[in-house]
Structure 1
Amino acid sequence: MATFLYARVSTTEQTLDHQRTQAEAAGFTFDHVIADHGVSGVAVKMKDRPEGKRLFDMLRSGDTLVVRWIDRLGRNYEDVTDTIRDFMRRGVTVRTVINGMVFDGQATDPMSAAVRDALIGFMAAMGQSQAEATKEAQRAGIAAAKAKQGEDAGTAYKGRKPSYTAENVATVADMAGKGMGVAEIARTTGLSRQTVYRIKDDPAAAQAALAAWA
């Protein structure tokens, strides 16, 4: 029986080292560490990722798969739920670093299985909805900035140049959606607390500021 860490590193603010350090701080040790870099969790299914495919090939009954959070498996509801159910059918236990969730195929009565499956579905749906909300905020911010620039014929005062990136905005929205506090988000992203508050309170305005300086 082996323990695997799977990490999906999709933005410049995310790193394999950070995800591994968090897991080790939570008490996990690993026989294998597998990571996909620069891969969308929305557009690319787990089995279609280079390292995701290898993970499917390596996992055996009795193994444990550790992920920072369910969204590291992906941000597509159907793909994530199918993936976890596939792993459970194989006898693999899936565990999360955040909140210490455990998903396995050990439920012996329908009610326990239903509660487990409902939780998996909720978490997978939340991951997809957060990704969609972030993209919508980006589109709205860019559209607002372009409209403003058009009105002022390029003479509008753009304000202070943002100290953050589009990836920062997505990461803050993602972490805030998981219920993480401003201090922890600031430590993870390297942003000031004031900047995190500003992005968290109005992501569309944050994207608009970026678009104005693009």
Structure 2
Amino acid sequence: MSTILYARVSTADQTLSHQRTQAEQAGFTIDEVVADQGVSGATTALRERAEGRRLFDLLRHGDTLVVRWVDRLGRNYADVTDTIKEFMRRGVVVRTVINNMTFDGATEDPIQMAVRDALIGFMAATAQAQYEATKASQRAGINEARANAAIQRKKTEYLGRKPSYDREKYDSVIRLLSMEVAGTSEIARLLGLTRQTVLRIKEDPGKALAALEAWDAGSKEAVKQ
């Protein structure tokens, strides 16, 4: 029986070593690591990922699959729930590092099965909802930025103070916050930002992105003129 860690590293801010360290600090003894790099969990099902396919081939009855949280398996409700249930049917125990959740198919009690399946569904739905909320916030911020840029061009208003972060640092703040691996002060130190800047992005990511896009759009227009 083996304990296999599956890690999905979808952005530059996430690392394989960190996910393994978290698992080991939580008490897991990892026999093997399977990891997909730069793959979206929302648009690519686990079976369609290169290492995801290998994971399905590796897991056997009695094995334990460890993931940081269910969002590493994916951010699509149907894919995540189907995947976990398939593993349980094979006799694989699925465990999460965060919240120390355990899912297995050993129980035959209908009440316990119902509670287990409901929890799996809730966690999978949360993973998808978080992804969609982030994307919606980003879209709203971009739309607002475009509208503000148009107004600024018409009125030739002063752009105001340039944000102290660029798009790369903004994305890094959003990713680190979603991973819940570091506090505001630590994120600020890692990215070379002030704590107040990280807090502004955390409290209203759409507004923070809108300010950045508006300034960039206005600056480009000013250069053209």
Task: Tell whether the 8 Å contact from 1:134 to 1:173 is kept in structure 2 after alignment.
Answer: no
Task: Tell whether the 8 Å contact from 2:3 to 2:31 is kept in structure 1 after alignment.
Answer: yes
Partner of 2:201: 199
145-154 or 126-135, which deviates more: 145-154
Partner of 1:171: 175
Partner of 1:101: 101
Structure 2 alignment gaps of length 5 or more? 217-225
Partner of 1:92: 92
Task: Tell whether the 8 Å contact from 1:63 to 1:93 is kept in structure 2 after alignment.
Answer: yes
Q: 1:137 to 1:28 in 2, by over 3 A?
A: same
Partner of 1:184: 183
Which whole-Å CA distance do the structure 2 matches of 1:132 and 1:93 have between them? Answer: 28
Which whole-Å CA distance do the structure 1 matches of 2:175 and 2:75 have between them? Answer: 14
Which whole-Å CA distance do the structure 2 matches of 1:11 and 1:94 have between them? Answer: 24
Q: What is the TM-score normalised by the length of structure 2? A: 0.85
Task: Tell whether the 8 Å contact from 2:173 to 2:187 is kept in structure 1 after alignment.
Answer: no
Q: Which digits, 9 at most, give the CA deviation of each residue in 1:69-122, with x for residues without a partner?
A: 110000000000000000000000011111100000112210000000000000
Q: What is the TM-score normalised by the length of structure 1? A: 0.89
Query: How many pairs are equivalent?
Result: 209
Which whole-Å CA distance do the structure 2 matches of 1:185 and 1:47 have between them? Answer: 36
Partner of 1:32: 32
Residue identity opposite 2:85 in structure 1: R
Which whole-Å CA distance do the structure 2 matches of 1:185 and 1:105 have between them? Answer: 39
CA positional deviation for 1:10: 0.7
Q: Which digits, 9 at most, give the CA deviation of each residue in 1:41-60, with x for residues without a partner?
A: 00000000000010001100
TM alignment of 1:61-80, pairs within 5 A: 61-80=61-80
CA positional deviation for 1:145: 1.0
Q: 1:158 to 1:123 in 2, by over 3 A?
A: farther
Find the partner of 2:211 among 203, 209, 212. Answer: 209
What SS does structure 2 have at the residue aligned with 1:124? Answer: helix
Q: 1:145 to 1:156 in 2, by over 3 A?
A: farther
What SS does structure 2 have at the residue aligned with 1:95? Answer: strand
Structure 1 alignment gaps of length 5 or more? none
Which whole-Å CA distance do the structure 2 matches of 1:188 and 1:22 have between them? Answer: 18
